[in-house]
Amino acid sequence: MASRPSGNRRALGDIGNIVGALSATYLVTKPQHQQQQNHTNNLIEIDRPTTRRKFGAELTAKNQLHGKATKIIIEDDPKQSRTASSRKKRNRIPEIHEPKSIQMGEEEEEQEKENTRKKKLERWECGSSFNASMSTETAELPLDSEVDLQINSCVPTNYMSNQTDINHKMRAILVDWLIEVHYKFELMHETLFLAINIIDRYLSRQGVMRKYLQLVGVTGMLLACKYEEICVPLLEDFIYISDGAYTRVDVLKMEKSMLNTLQFNMSVPTPFVFMKRFLKAAESDTKLEMVSFYLMELCMVEYQMLKFPPSLLSAAAVYAGRCMLRRSPTWTKTLRHHSTYSEDQLQECVRLIVELHQNAGQGKLTSVYRKYSFSKNSCIAILMKTTTIETHFHSN
């Protein structure tokens, strides 16, 4: 390893801070007229100067020999203004009292244990009655009266009407590009769903110029990565994929604007949350999981699909996936119970999903179709392309 140039710096020995040097005594050379007295040794040892503390200690030791308790006062240190006897009293170890159980007799000890047991029993009965009453009240509540947490993640279905410089086609181009970015970075599913949700919620509240729309998309993906991912891509990576259209300062400013606009609310239920739950209720395999996510991502690109709540969109994707794979029955009682949707309630959304599936791979926005055409995703887009589900769907 190459050493750094020292420049004009002096060695440690030149400035007298060698470790251990002259730590106890100082060595000096005897004057010329004293060298004649001792020719064998030209060095003498000089002790450190006597300090007030050292002097006080020596004086105390002398007085103790004569049986006196002398009060030593050091004006600069008022803490030392106490006699040796007072220091001994202050440093005395306090008495350690034995535990109460040792001091009590056997009968008192048993009574104390019984009282403690009764108090614990009363607290337990109180907690049990409270939990029981809460469980009863919850069980009596119908599913429709539960608080719908999806409100925080939904956006107005016509929010693009408030934008003056962008439209739903530009949003579709942005989402299609972000799906490709997400695949190239090998990020998790939940990151993509959260990123799209962050972007839609921000655009529904804040007007954005056309030249900054890609910056909103890049920053939304960065925020989702920070929230979901363990290994977050570098900010420079997002600047690179945007072809250097924005600087680091631009991204940080947009990140601040988006967080303040959304009031730092990143914990929202996205379609991914419901999808995992419904797939578990459907006892899905890898093939059904791939098909359902493929159909769901096709929906994410389309602005018109924002009118459906995330739970309904996920349920419709699972329903359509089971139709494509000829699973019978298409909608089980378990799925109806966990999704709270009947087949009739899913009809409109499923029809739109079928149309998106039939048109997949056509036109300019083909990122989802190409993504699920790779072997990594079991080539599910190619396999399902030849599957006609419209007739099977209508027969149900």
Tens of pLDDT, residue by residue over 230-269, are 998 999 999 999 988 999 999 999 999 999 999 999 989 9
Tens of pLDDT, residue by residue over 195-216, are 999 999 999 999 999 999 999 9
At which residue do the structure tokens 């149900």 appear? Answer: 396
Please return the burial class of 197, using the count of CB atoms within 10 Å of its CB with bins 0-12, 13-18 and 19+: buried
pLDDT of residue 378: 87
pLDDT of residue 384: 87
Give the domain 271-395 fold. Cyclin A; domain 1 (1.10.472)
Q: At what angle do helices 213-228 and 248-261 cross, to 10 degrees?
A: 70
Kindly tell me if the per-residue pLDDT of 160 is higher than 90: yes
Q: Where in the chain is the domain with CATH 1.10.472.10?
A: 166-261, 271-395
pLDDT of residue 124: 41
pLDDT of residue 150: 81
Q: What percent of the chain has pLDDT over 90?
A: 52
pLDDT of residue 167: 94
Q: How confident is the model at residue 132 (pLDDT cuts 50, 70, 90)?
A: very low
The predicted model gives 355-362 an average pLDDT of: 92
Q: How confident is the model at residue 169 (pLDDT cuts 50, 70, 90)?
A: very high
Kindly tell me if the per-residue pLDDT of 77 is higher than 60: no
Task: Annotate the chain with three-state secondary structure.
Answer: CCCCCCCCCCCHHHHCCCCCCCCCCEEEECCHHHCCCCCCCCEEEECCCCCHHHHHHHHHHHHHHCCCCCCCCCCCCHHHCCCHHHHHHHCCCCCCCCCHHHHCCHHHHHHHHHHHHHHHHHHHHHHHHHHHHHHHHHHHCCHHHCCCHHHHCCCCCCHHHHCCCCCHHHHHHHHHHHHHHHHHCCCCHHHHHHHHHHHHHHHCCCCCCHHHHHHHHHHHHHHHHHHHCCCCCCHHHHHHHCCCCCCHHHHHHHHHHHHHHCCCCCCCCCHHHHHHHHHHHCCCCHHHHHHHHHHHHHHHHCHHHHHCCHHHHHHHHHHHHHHHCCCCCCCCHHHHHHHCCCHHHHHHHHHHHHHHHHHCCCCCCCHHHHHCCCHHHCCHHHHHHCCCCHHHHHHC
**Among 49-53, 150-154, 297-301, which stretch is predicted with the lowest mean pLDDT?**
49-53
**Among 17-26, 55-64, 91-100, 148-157, which stretch is predicted with the lowest mean pLDDT?**
91-100
Q: What is the C-alpha to C-alpha distance for residues 299 and 294, in angstroms, rounded to an integer? A: 9
The predicted model gives 166-191 an average pLDDT of: 95
Kindly tell me if the per-residue pLDDT of 26 is higher than 50: no
pLDDT of residue 19: 44
What does pLDDT average to over the chain? 75
Both structure tokens of 32: 């010329």
The CATH architecture one would assign to domain 166-261 is: Orthogonal Bundle (1.10)
Task: Output Rg (C-alpha) for the chain, integer angstroms.
Answer: 40
The predicted model gives 286-294 an average pLDDT of: 94
The predicted model gives 126-148 an average pLDDT of: 39
Tens of pLDDT, residue by residue over 379-394, are 999 988 876 554 344 4
The predicted model gives 167-190 an average pLDDT of: 95
Which residues, other chains included, contact 344 with Cβ-Cβ below 8 Å and sequence gap of 6+? none
pLDDT of residue 208: 95
